[in-house]
Amino acid sequence: MGKKLKKLKFLITAGGTREYIDPVRFISNASSGQMGYALAQAAIDAGHNVVLVTAPTNLEEPKGAKIVRVETSSEMFEAVKRHFDNCDVLIMAAAVSDFAPVKVSKTKIKKSNHSLTITLKPTIDILSWAGSKKEHQFVVGFALEDKAVLDRAAKKLESKNADMIIANTPAAIGSPRSQVTILTRNYILQLPTASKAVTARKLISVCLSKFEIQNRR
């Protein structure tokens, strides 16, 4: 008989957050949420518990996951904070907005012939927060870069105090397939282009292996 696998608690974020300008308009991005949902399903299929914090998507919910629905980056941050202490592995697959409007109009902004200037402010860096608060947790982030991909991913690994960074490019946005590179402080693995379901299963496998190594120390 092999060693029985410990059932871990995964906290996974997915989708692109929305930052509202007025009650009907918002700033967002082109994230489809496919990778986050694929990761949630892969973790469930591997026998683990999953809390999926998801921004709006058109995807079918992974069966067996606890779903926490959010819209804005601040709502996603509150959800991550609420579940972080109780998780073993956090995977920040969501495309969280980097900026949000300083002021949100309470009523719909009417169209006019005048230019409209919207002042933006930085949003909370959820990955950095998790990296500063982690104790037993294994913290995984994504780095989507259009140049110097591996160099920037390595810098993000250090600056956010993450345990693993998944590097990819804008070609992954909205696509059912992706090519990613996994980075830790002493490990790098480039995965071949594959469906996000296949890539997610490999990522979960590597997370489990690295989590076990980390918690043996």
Q: Which residues contact 70 (CB under 8 A, 6 or more apart)?
A: 17, 53, 54, 55, 76, 78, 79
Inter-residue contact 84 to 11 (CB < 8 Å): yes
Q: Which of 29, 49, 161, 215 is catalytic?
A: 29
Taking the alpha carbons at both ends of the chain, their separation in whole angstroms is 25
User: Please, what's the b/e burial string for 160-195 (b: 16 or more CB within 10 A of its CB; e: otherwise)?
Assistant: bebbbbbbbbeebbeeeebbbbbbbeeeeeebeebe
Query: Taking the C-alpha atoms of 38, 172, 159 and 185 in order, what is their torsion angle to the nearest 10 degrees?
Result: 70
The neighbouring-strand residues paired with 50 are 10
Q: Is 58 considered catalytic here?
A: no
Residue whose tokens read 């076990």: 212
Tokens (6 digits) for 48: 């683990």
Q: What are the residue numbers of the active site? A: 29
